[in-house]
Amino acid sequence: MLELQQIGKSFPGVRALDGINLQFRPGEIHALLGENGAGKSTMIKVVSGIYPEYDGEFFVNGDKMTLKSYQDALDHGISVVNQEIQIIPESSVAENIVMDKLSNFKKKSGRVDWKAINAFAGKYLDMVELDIDPNTPIGPLSAAQKQLIQIAKSLSCDSKILILDEPTSSVTRHEAATLFSIMRKLKDQGVTLIFVSHKLEEIFEVCDLVTVIRDGRWVGTDLVGNLDREKIIEMMIGRKCSNEYLGNLNKIGEDIVLEAKGITKESEIHDASFELHRGEILGFYGLVGAGRTELAKILIGNSRADSGTISVEGKEVEIHSVSEAIYEHGIGYVSENRKEEGLILDFDVEQNIGITIWNELKHRFSRKIDDVAIRKEEQRHVDKLQIKITGLDQMVKNLSGGNQQKVSIAKWLAADCDILIIDEPTVGVDVGAKEYIHQLIWDLAKVQNKSIILISSDLPEMIKLARRILVFKEHEIVGELDDIHTRESLCEDQISRRIGEFLV
Ligand SMILES: Nc1ncnc2c1ncn2[C@@H]1O[C@H](COP(=O)(O)OP(=O)(O)OP(=O)(O)O)[C@@H](O)[C@H]1O
Ligand SMILES: [Mg+2]
């Protein structure tokens, strides 16, 4: 169905792809794996017409392709769910879905047939089990909802080759399972599926074949049945990865650093109360749209509650803005939405990481800014997180998705807040870096006695890090699991079942 011969692609200072030869057959789900910056997205952009300039050639059904644009790829039966969510925020869900086929929906009179558009969009929304009105504006929806809409959009193209670049990065397992059953159906119909994900359990669940690339070069291709987790990781990072239990956090003390009482905001969160202790990692778990991020935004002054109170270190406070949260109350927020909120894409890495420490160092050095100190601090975080950049002056928009996420984390680690709200910290980062970020979060709590709220849809991550988990459902906190690490057997299935009981 698709064959790559000697595909190569360079960017200034980087050989992103180098001599890739690969074949994809009809009716197979083929995983494309590799570390952040390995070249996965670049390869996808080459075969989908987004990068018309490259070395080598590729063929669809034996025909040599010379695609000029993504539209061209669509016309040849290739569609892509992109890693970066691509939407027009001002438009409705339906408009986003039919964006590239609007001409199919013109009535004889020349008018747009809105009824047909909504019906068409509705059909694909049903397919991904997204229960929203096609007329809803897409902008305010959550990252996961947007991701599901992108999937719906690609499905609506009826392509022979469907490429999914980290389609599950911000959705929960339940939603991913829906996607996998759709993928299996398409496979049975002879569609070729290429699937990129950093969640290895998904690879074993749904893929037939695995190809690993490293630094732009092919490392190997094999049947999933011939591989295990360790083997794949070794192929990806060239060494073994330890994924051990992190030990015990300090015993939760009496010291309450943050307390919320009865926080309510219409259609976002209802009557949420909780306490965050010093040195604790408190998990917020729940299905997408359950109200976790909404609550976080109220806590950091990005949105105002209709009622309820927030106290920091025992004193009731009103937080009016994000900068007030950081500089007056020591509360930082690592956003799930790195493109829109976490990073300034047109700035370089140095400026992005520097934003938060700048103020800090400014105070420390009596308003004089010590460039050397700042750069040293930034470089330290870049090295620790192994962020793949050509230099601190590289534009963030040119980094691979996972490396952008690492910059966003580095920025907040550098900020040194007492309370840190971390929203989906490892979305899109590779296994090696994920392990490192987990260790960092753990050390923040254990060694530095920081207090952390962890919002994550990744259950293994939640269980590994959080000692208490609050379960959110339909804008409310519906339950609490408070003995995660003290239980005799730290069994994911059991915890998953208990969370499930709250969610029914
Ligand atoms: N537009 C660009 N300009 C310059 N360099 C780029 C550009 N796009 C990608 N690169 C570089 O090419 C390399 C491969 O990036 P790519 O986005 O393909 O990685 P990836 O495997 O998709 O990683 P991730 O898992 O983080 O998404 C990286 O070193 C990246 O910095
Ligand atoms: Mg990528």
User: What is residue 480's predicted lDDT score, i.e. its pLDDT?
Assistant: 92
Give residue-wise pLDDT tens across range 362-380: 454 444 556 777 778 778 8
Q: How far apart are CA 121 and CA 474, in angstroms?
A: 24
Q: Is the CB of 38 under 6 A from ligand 1?
A: yes
Cα distances from 445 to residues 334, 378, 420, 451, in angstroms, run 16, 21, 10, 6
CA distance 236 to 250: 34
- 114 CA distance to ligand 2 centroid (A)? 35
The residue with tokens 């969610």 is: 503
Residue 345 lies in a domain: yes
Would you say residue 311 lies in a domain?
yes
pTM: 0.70
Sign of CA dihedral 215, 220, 223, 229: negative
Does 250 score more than 70 pLDDT?
no
Ligand 1, pocket-test mutation among 400, 405, 426, most atoms within 8 A of CB: 400
Is the same domain home to 371 and 257? Answer: no
Give residue 367's pLDDT. 46
Report how far Cα 194 is from the mean position of its chain's Cα atoms.
19
Residue 341 has pLDDT above 70, yes or no: no
| 321, 381: one domain | no
Task: Say yes or no: 15 and 139 in one domain.
Answer: yes
Task: Please check the confidence at residue 121 and state whether its pLDDT lies above 50.
Answer: yes
Q: What is the pLDDT of residue 128?
A: 85
Residue where a domain terminates, one of 237, 254, 288: 237
DSSP lists the bridge partners of residue 7 as 20
Alpha helices in 128-196 (DSSP H): 143-155, 173-188
Q: Does 299 map to a domain?
A: yes
- Residue 16 Cβ contacting ligand 1 at under 6 Å: yes
Ligand in closest contact with the CA of 42 = 1
Is the domain of 108 the same as that of 81? yes
Contact 408 CB / ligand 1 (< 6 Å): no
Mean pLDDT, the chain, rounded, equals 85
Residues 372 and 265 in one domain: no
Is residue 410 in a domain?
yes
Same domain (yes/no): 391, 346: yes
Residues 476 and 291 sit within 8 Å (Cβ to Cβ): yes
Residues 249 and 318 in one domain: yes
For the chain, what is the domain count? Answer: 3
CA distance 198 to 402: 10
433: in domain:
no
Rg, Å, the chain Cα set:
23
Together in a domain, 205 and 255: no
What is the number of the ligand closest to the CA of 13? 1
Residues 11 and 142 in one domain: yes
Q: Is 152 among the domain residues?
A: yes
Any atom of ligand 1 within 6 Å of the Cβ of 14: yes
- Nearest alpha carbon to residue 194 among 6, 338, 32: 32
Residue type, 59: F
Give the domain-ending residue among 188, 214, 237.
237
Q: How far is the centre of ligand 1, averaged over its atoms, from the C-alpha of 106 (Å)? A: 39
For residues 86-97, one letter each, b for 16 or more C-beta atoms within 10 angstroms of the residue's C-beta and e for the rest, the string is ebeeeebbbbbb
Say which ligand is closest to the CA of 53.
1
502 is in which domain, residue-wise? Answer: 244-330+417-428+444-504
| Domain closes at, from 237, 253, 286 | 237
Indicate whether 86 and 33 sit together in one domain. Answer: yes
Q: Which ligand is nearest to the CA of 399?
A: 1
- Please give the number of the atom of ligand 1 that sits closest to the Cα of 430: 25
Higher pLDDT, 44 or 127: 44
Instruction: Tell me, using a 6 A CB cutoff, whether residue 39 lines ligand 1.
Output: yes
Q: Whose CA is nearest to atom 8 of ligand 1?
A: 398
CA–CA dist 4, 213 (Å, integer): 14
Q: Verify that 157 and 302 share a domain, yes or no.
A: no
Give residue 484 CA to ligand 1 midpoint distance, Å.
Answer: 38
Question: Is residue 435 in some structural domain?
Answer: no
